[in-house]
Structure 1
């Protein structure tokens, strides 16, 4: 009989953690990887309440952290969740059904992404498919910043979305834009990637795509802010790479 382990990373993100763990009653095992070298965190206390297996593991990058969680799991299926993603009952039931099938090695899952309490439906933020559910022996994480699953074999799509409280507010959104643009710039600089001048044209093109072609304007001010932030993300990344190049010249 197929069993399912849920792997969750937590790094000072406990606002939704209890709701997340409470939504996982269908899972056979919960692996909670806490970015810490000291025990006694609030994440650990919440994890114990829901019988999660908690591991302290100092953060290096997202790829390494999540693969560590997979290694600690004991089931043949893995569900990858963030500590701000809640599984509705209908999605849990759907996953219980599909893991009994031997037809696919993984499943793309849609996400309903929220800014605060506002579901942002357009501008590329829905359905926002990613492989979240996969056989342990057929998938692993790669990518030190925006990690994703490298899957061996075929996959299918789930119908029901996970609820993702992606950004607590617009200010939180902006803070993450600055944080991840720095991480991505540092990674690309280490990898020796150069920024030709014509790549700067991607900035207005991205805004046009998100706001007009992908109908971001239908989300009102939130849609405009999201398109602007994600477009400016490119500028920040390019500028930070140039800055690093000058420092090392």
Structure 2
């Protein structure tokens, strides 16, 4: 076994969690599941596979991942989602690592699926992420959405052979629902950071996102799925700033009103995973 811990955050992931864990067990003897009170068979599957399961309230993607990191047996952390499955080439690649330099992080290529179809082009076809790192130097940012790894100065990046297979969405409806959901969360994040709406990010940026995904990155070669992905990429970009515009108006209205602004329900953030 490789001296690393696999950390997975979950919420109702019974359809994919078993295969994710099976791949992880080829890598390590320490698998940590941080579960946000799943109501399906996620927890029973994880426990039957001898994973360490912890249930806790939802505090955001980065915050919950960091909880798992803190509970890990090893300092080296492989972070995956429940719908992400390491292939054999990646497993073998991980077994060759010495993991003796904590300044190193490891970038892994992804193969993303729309239903059962592998997406080879567009933005999805170029997907890769740093997912293996040493917790003594690296943690996740704790923003509510689009968490990122905080890499200190002096960090070195190495690319690994093999892939993580990401079973992202079942169909167009789920893809659109995720786009809508993340647009809402992103708008809230933008509002908190003071980002403003302008003509470029409201109108030009969505159009460019579509052109980049569908034409420049060859999304049209993926057929109807490539078109749907490009369209939803456009929609997500546009919606983020439309929602931000509404939030700005609501904030201004409530500034001059005695009625406090309604607060978003944090539990909503667990309805869809990355």
Equivalent residue for 1:91? 90
Shift of 1:148: 2.1
Distance in 1 between residues matched to 2:56 and 2:234, nearest whole Å: 34
* Count of residue pairs the alignment pairs up: 247
- The TM-score with structure 1 as length reference comes to 0.94
CA shift, 1:102, in A, is 3.5
8 Å CA contact 1:105, 1:138 repeated in 2: no
- 1:213-232 superposed Cα distances (whole Å, 9 cap, x missing partner): 10000001100110110111
The worse-fitting range, judged by mean Cα deviation, of 91-100 and 173-182 is 91-100
Alignment partner, residue 148 of structure 2? 148
Q: In the TM superposition, what is the alpha-carbon distance from 1:159 to its structure 2 partner?
A: 1.9
What is the aligned partner in structure 2 of residue 159 from structure 1?
A: 161
Find the aligned partners of 2:170 and 2:44 in 1 and give their Cα distance: 23
Inter-partner Cα distance in structure 2 for 1:236 and 1:57: 31
| 1:115 Cα deviation after fit | 0.7
Cα separation, 1, equivalents of 2:177 and 2:228: 13
Q: Is 1:190 aligned with 2:192?
A: yes
Q: Which runs of 4+ in 1 moved over 3 A?
A: 99-104
Computed over aligned residues only, the root mean square deviation of the Cα atoms, in angstroms, reads: 1.8
CA contact (8 A) 2:103 2:137 kept: no
Taking the TM superposition and a 5 Å limit, the aligned residue runs for 1:89-238 are: 89-100=88-99, 102=101, 105-142=104-141, 143-152=143-152, 153-199=155-201, 200-238=203-241
Instruction: Please tell me whether the aligned partners of residues 5 and 77 of structure 2 are also in contact (alpha carbons under 8 angstroms).
Output: yes
- Where 1:95 maps in the other structure, the secondary structure is helix
Alignment-derived partner of residue 32 in structure 2:
31
Inter-partner Cα distance in structure 2 for 1:84 and 1:185: 25
Partner-residue secondary structure (3-state), 1:63: helix
Check conservation: 2:122, 2:226, Cα contact below 8 A. Answer: yes
Alignment match, 2:242: 239
Shift in Å at residue 41 of structure 1? Answer: 5.7
Moved more, 189-198 or 206-215: 189-198
- CA gap of 1:169–1:99, structure 2 versus 1, over 3 A, is farther
Pick closer, same or farther for the CA change 1:99–1:183 going to 2, 3 Å. Answer: farther
CA distance in 1, matches of 2:124, 2:240: 20
Question: Alpha-carbon deviations, 1:7-55, whole Å to 9, x = none?
Answer: 000012221001111112221200000012x8x8622211111111001
Q: How far apart are the structure 1 equivalents of 2:102 and 2:92?
A: 18
Q: Is the 8 A contact 1:2 1:75 kept in 2?
A: no
**Cα 1:33/1:103, change in 2 over 3 Å:** closer
